[in-house]
Amino acid sequence: MKKRIEKMRGEFTVALQAAAVPEDAEKVRVAFLGKKGALTEVLKGMKDLTPDERREVGALSNALKDEFERMLATRAAELGRGEIEKKLAAEWEDISWPSGLSRGAAHPIAVIRRRVKEIFVSMGFEVLDGPEMEEEVNNFDKLNIPPDHPARDAQDTFWLDNGMLLRTHTSPVQVRGMLSHTPPFKFIAPGKVYRNEAVDASHEHTFHQIEGMVVDRNISVAHLIYSMKTLLTGIFEKEVEVRLRPGFFPFVEPGFELDIKCLICGGKGCSVCKQSGWLELMPCGMVHPVVLRNGGIDTEEFSGFAFGLGLERLVMMKYGIDDIRLFHGADLRFFTQF
């Protein structure tokens, strides 16, 4: 009996070595360890043995069964690895083949607008919106632009046949914002604006602004300068140097032109900044008392500042775009770049 068991080990080893694929190893398992397998038969025949013999053969054959199972597992792993290797040898990808993913893009104006919005919202500003087709009174009168002002001429403003106009700036949202809010408040208002201009590489009749307005107690020019610096540092993601010059706009007093140190030459003077080292970026100022009063605000208690940021200018500077017509040009060779 013991001999038979010993012999079985030899037979098993040979059979297992001969297995070429995982299925062969399985057949070997069935032949020895299956329901009618050789080792199983041995165990079945143990009932005819004496208790001593039974103990001895039982221990032997159980040890052998464990050994067979270990050997089977090892062999199966070997054979399996072979299978994987075969598969690996047969399979290959051209990693340079395009994925077929078509990349979309938001309009560059929308990208900057979102960035500016994020900066202001993080500083606690509300985002307002106003109509593009406006009343004359909101676009001009309430902003302290007198009836004879040249801006009202048809050569500057698109007048509509329903007596309204296409807003020439986002400033009418100041009026709407003041009337719908109780001070103190602070908001921005991005939007499309229109001027009756001949279109060329640097002029557009349709463009975008972001209006901003802060009304609170004791708002000063120092606050305005701080806020503009913070905004521009956020947009350009680096410290920018700014300066204020006097600028005249009927709805602010004092009014300013805000310049930033030329980003192209760093202030040394180049063709972009016309050798001045500075780029004119946005008009801003302390809200004119007449405008505040038109918005129902008590000028004894409150003051405020406002600004109008031209987005096209900013985008053109950021990406080095030299033709403003591209923004409304619908050419995908341009838009897929953002």
Partner 1 sequence: MLLSLSWIREYVDLEGITPEDIVKRLALSTAEIESARWVGRHFEQVRAARIEKIEKHPNAEKIRLATIFDGKDRATVVCGAPNIEEGQVVPYAPLGTVLPGDFEIKPVKIRGVESCGMLCSAKELGLGEDHSGILQLDRKMELGTPLSTICGGADFVIEIENKTVNHRPDLWGHYGYARELRTIFNRPWKKKLEFTGVRPDKKEEELAIEFATDKALHYIGVKMSGVKVGPSPDWLRARIEAIGHRSINNIVDITNFVMFETGHPLHAFDRRNIAGSTIVVRNAAPGEKFTTLDGIERVLIDRDIVIADKDKAVALGGVMGGLHSEVEPDTTEIVIESALFDPATIRRTANRLDLRTDAAQRFEKAMWVENSWLAVQRCIELIKEFVPGAVVTSEAAHRDASGKYGFTGSISTSCDRIRAMLGVRRDDLPDARIEGILMLLDFEVKRDGDRLVIPVPPHRRSKDVSLEADIVEEVGRIHGYDNIMPRAPLFPMTPPPRNGLLDKEERLREILVREFGACEIMTYSFLSDNEHAAFPLPENEAVRAPSLKETPWLRHTLTPGMLKALAVNHRQYERFTLFEFGRVFRRGGENRRLAVLIRDDSDIFRTTKRIVEAFMAELKVPTFQFERAKKESVPFHEDVALHPGRGALVRAMGKLVGMCGEVHPALLEQWDVRGRAGIMEFDIDLLGSLPAKSEKYKPIPRFPATFFELTVLTPERTESAAVGAVAYKTIDKKIFSGCEVVSSYKGPGVPEGQMSLSLRVTLAAPDRTLTSDEMKQAQEALIAAFAKQGWPLKGA
Residues 252-281 contacting partner 1, CB under 8 A: 253-257
Window 218-237: residues binding partner 1 (CB under 8 A): 218-223, 225-227, 229-230
How many angstroms separate the CA atoms of 300 and 303, rounded? 8
Min separation Cβ 77 and partner 1, Å: 37
Q: Which residues, at least 6 apart from 95, have a Cβ–Cβ distance to it below 8 Å?
A: none
Alpha carbon of 118 to those of 115, 123, 212, 213: distances in Å? Answer: 5, 9, 13, 16
Window 313-332: residues binding partner 1 (CB under 8 A): 327-332
Compute how many other C-beta atoms are within 10 angstroms of the C-beta atom of residue 331.
Answer: 9
Min separation Cβ 178 and partner 1, Å: 16
CA dihedral 277, 282, 288, 291 (to 10 degrees): 170
* 109 contacts partner 1 (rule: CB under 8 A): yes
Structure tokens at 42: 């041995």
Contact flags string 132-171 toward partner 1, x per CB under 8 A: xx--------------x-x--xxx--xxxxx-x-x-----
Window 280-309: residues binding partner 1 (CB under 8 A): 286, 288-289, 303
Structure tokens at 232: 């521009």
Min separation Cβ 282 and partner 1, Å: 14
* 124 contacts partner 1 (rule: CB under 8 A): yes
Which of 224, 218, 190, 215 lies closest to 291 in space, CA to CA? 215
* 107 contacts partner 1 (rule: CB under 8 A): yes
Nearer to partner 1, 3 or 333 (CB): 333
Give the number of residues in contact with partner 1, rule: CB under 8 A.
77
Nearer to partner 1, 12 or 278 (CB): 278
* 121 contacts partner 1 (rule: CB under 8 A): yes
* 13 contacts partner 1 (rule: CB under 8 A): no
Nearer to partner 1, 75 or 195 (CB): 195
Alpha carbon of 297 to those of 141, 180, 293, 312, 319: distances in Å? Answer: 16, 11, 5, 32, 40
Q: Which of 59, 77, 105, 201 binds partner 1 (CB under 8 A)?
A: 105
Instruction: Write out 2-42 in H/E/C secondary structure.
Output: HHHHHHHHHHHHHHHHHCCCHHHHHHHHHHHHCCCCHHHHH
Min separation Cβ 203 and partner 1, Å: 14
Nearer to partner 1, 75 or 190 (CB): 190
* 38 contacts partner 1 (rule: CB under 8 A): no
Compute how many other C-beta atoms are within 10 angstroms of the C-beta atom of residue 275.
Answer: 11
How many angstroms separate the CA atoms of 25 and 123, rounded? 71
Q: Which of 54, 81, 245, 268 binds partner 1 (CB under 8 A)?
A: 245
* 21 contacts partner 1 (rule: CB under 8 A): no
Q: Which of 243, 296, 301, 323 binds partner 1 (CB under 8 A)?
A: 243
* 203 contacts partner 1 (rule: CB under 8 A): no
Min separation Cβ 103 and partner 1, Å: 6
| Plot region of 264 (φ>0 → left; ψ -120 to 50 → alpha; else → beta) | alpha
* 77 contacts partner 1 (rule: CB under 8 A): no
Cβ burial 92-114 (10 Å sphere, 16+ → b, else e): eeeeeeeeeeeeeeeebbebbbe
How many angstroms separate the CA atoms of 321 and 338, rounded? 12
Q: Which of 20, 21, 30, 127 binds partner 1 (CB under 8 A)?
A: 127
